[in-house]
Each structure stands twice: as structure tokens, then as C-alpha cells.
Amino acid sequence: MKKILLVLASFQLLSSCAPFVDSPFSDQLLRPERGLNAHATSRIPNVSADGVLRIAVFSDSHQNYKELDKATYTINQTKDIDFVANLGDFTNSGYNLEYDQFIDAVEHIKHPTIMALGNHDAIGAGLQLFRKAFGPTNFHFESGGYRFIFFNSNNLETPDDFSPEWLKDAVTSSSLPVLIFSHVQLRDQDRFFGKDAILLNDVISNNKVKVIFNGHNHVYNLIMDSGTVMMQCGRVEAPGDAHWLLVEITGNNFCVKRMDTKESACETLKL
């Protein structure tokens, strides 16, 4: 009996080497954090306290953790950021292991960090994993005279959770200028047709909407559309330094600085 107990104890010792992960396909997370987006928004101070709204934006890190580490390091070195917005695609296949790895990679960001759902994060059990770790995919909050809307634009991956009607209501019900954060560009012609495209056009052309941020296409792009700044963030992995954006809004002035090339461009916002 002693020998058997010895063997069992050895198994117990060995089993402490690695966690018991049931399946890569399940919605089981090893990381214990829950409701991360709500926690982050609760930490956001009055974003206009110093007269400047500063947002760090990054997107499409997928499994490029080395570049992500560079981006989070430089974000941490940057002072007076009001919050950090991640525009999604922080996994390749939406596996629970990738969610765990990403949460581990961004947990040391000092500033409040809010996540949008990317299309790659939404396949498999991704939607359930996102809700478990970060919370709802469509939500908004207000601070410093702005309404910030995070919108799930992944209509093909999460058709039941995709609601342009909700987005339009969130915009029209606001008495404040609106900034929208979405993974997919709201003019994406591969995804949005008919009624959806009409609703999203109503959102883009609504004069309360000042800036719409998106990722997904992996390249930096800044345009004006119906009086709205359409700010597309490239992927984190870039030839130079890691790609992320530092956006500063002062009064009517919108200024964005690319942190991979250190080039900056400014567009005027008509608030």
C-alpha cells in the first residue's frame, strides 16, 4: 500500500507541472480575470480634465506577442494617456489558450485598457470567451463631455450579436459628441449590404459622430467621410517599431501620431 501511495504522490507532484486544460475548443479560461472592460472604464478619469483627450490605439496583434510587448512598453512610457483602446484581433483562431496568452500580455498596461472584439477573436468559442473575460461586446460610456461607443462589427462571425440598430440608437440617444471603436470599418463592402449598410451610413453621417476607429485591414489609413474622421489603425507588427497610434483631441483639433514611424498627421474635427 505504501508503494502505491508513493506512486500516487509522484503523480500528484508531476501534475502540478502544468494545469489541466480540458480542450482548446471550450470556453474554459485559465486566467481568472472577468469583466475587464467594465473594470477599465471604471478607472477612466475625466478625460478632459487637462483640456486634451489622449487615447492610445492598437489593433490586430494576433499572436505577435513580441511586437505587442514593444507596443505595451512604449504605451506605458507615454504619460497622460486617458485610456487605451484595442480594436480587436488579438488571437488567430479564437482559442481559449490565445485569450489566456493575450490577457497575460496586456495585464501590465498601466492605463485603463478597453477591448473591442475582432473577427478572429469571434470564431469558435471566441464570443463566449470575450464575454467571459471582457464583458459585453456592445457598450458605451461617457467621460469628459464625450460618449465612447465600442461596437461589435463582426456581422459574419456573430450575427446574433451584431446590431447596427443598437449602434444607431447609442449615437442618436447621446447628447454628447461620439467616438466609435470598431474592429471592421463601417464602410466595409465585403460585409455590409442593404439595411445594415444604410444604418451604418446613418451612423457615419450623423453629425454627433466625430471619429470612428477601426482595425481589421492591417494598414494605417486616415480619411474624412461625411464629416467624420475615419481612423484606421494598422496591425501592431510593423517593419520599424511596433505600430500603435497616439490620438490627441483638443477642442476641434484631431491629431494622430503613428508610433512606428513617429510621423504625425492632424485633421480638424468640427465639434
Partner 1 sequence: MRNLKALIFFAVLTTSLQAPAADWRALFERAGFLGKYAIGASYEWAPEHAVSYLLGNYQIEDEDFYQSNLIYRYSRWNTDFFGHHWRPLQFGFFLVYAMNNQKYFLKSPDKYPYADYYDETALRYGVEFGTTLTFMPSRLGLGYYIRVFDNGVIANFNNSKRDLQYYISSGLSLQYLF
160 is an interface residue for partner 1 by CB under 8 A: no
CB nearer partner 1, residue 23 or residue 172: 23
Q: What burial class does residue 169 get, using C-beta atoms within 10 Å of its C-beta: 0-12 exposed, 13-18 middle, 19+ buried?
A: exposed
Per-residue binder mask for partner 1 (CB under 8 A), 76-115, x = binder:
----------------xxxx-xx-xx--x-----------
Q: Which residue has the cell 476607429?
A: 213
Per-residue binder mask for partner 1 (CB under 8 A), 25-64, x = binder:
xxxx-x--------------------------------xx
Q: Do 183 and 153 touch, CB atoms closer than 8 A?
A: yes
Give the total residue count for the chain.
271
20 is an interface residue for partner 1 by CB under 8 A: yes
d(CA 228, CA 209): 6
120 is an interface residue for partner 1 by CB under 8 A: yes
Could you tell me the smallest distance in angstroms from the CB atom of residue 64 to partner 1?
A: 7
239 is an interface residue for partner 1 by CB under 8 A: no
161 is an interface residue for partner 1 by CB under 8 A: no
Could you tell me the smallest distance in angstroms from the CB atom of residue 138 to partner 1?
A: 18
Of the candidates 236, 202, 205, 194, which has an alpha carbon nearest to the alpha carbon of residue 219? Answer: 236
CB nearer partner 1, residue 94 or residue 234: 94
CB nearer partner 1, residue 30 or residue 255: 30
CB nearer partner 1, residue 143 or residue 182: 182
Sequence-distant contacts of 107-111: CB under 8 A, at least 24 apart:
107/33, 108/72, 108/76, 109/72, 109/75, 109/76, 109/84, 110/76, 111/56, 111/75, 111/76, 111/81, 111/82, 111/83, 111/84
3-class secondary structure per residue, 233-252 = CCCCCCCCCCCCEEEEEECC
How far is residue 13 CA from its own chain's centroid?
Answer: 39
The contact set with partner 1 (CB under 8 A) reads: 3-4, 7-8, 11, 14-15, 17-28, 30, 63-66, 92-95, 97-98, 100-101, 104, 120, 123-125, 128, 156, 190-191
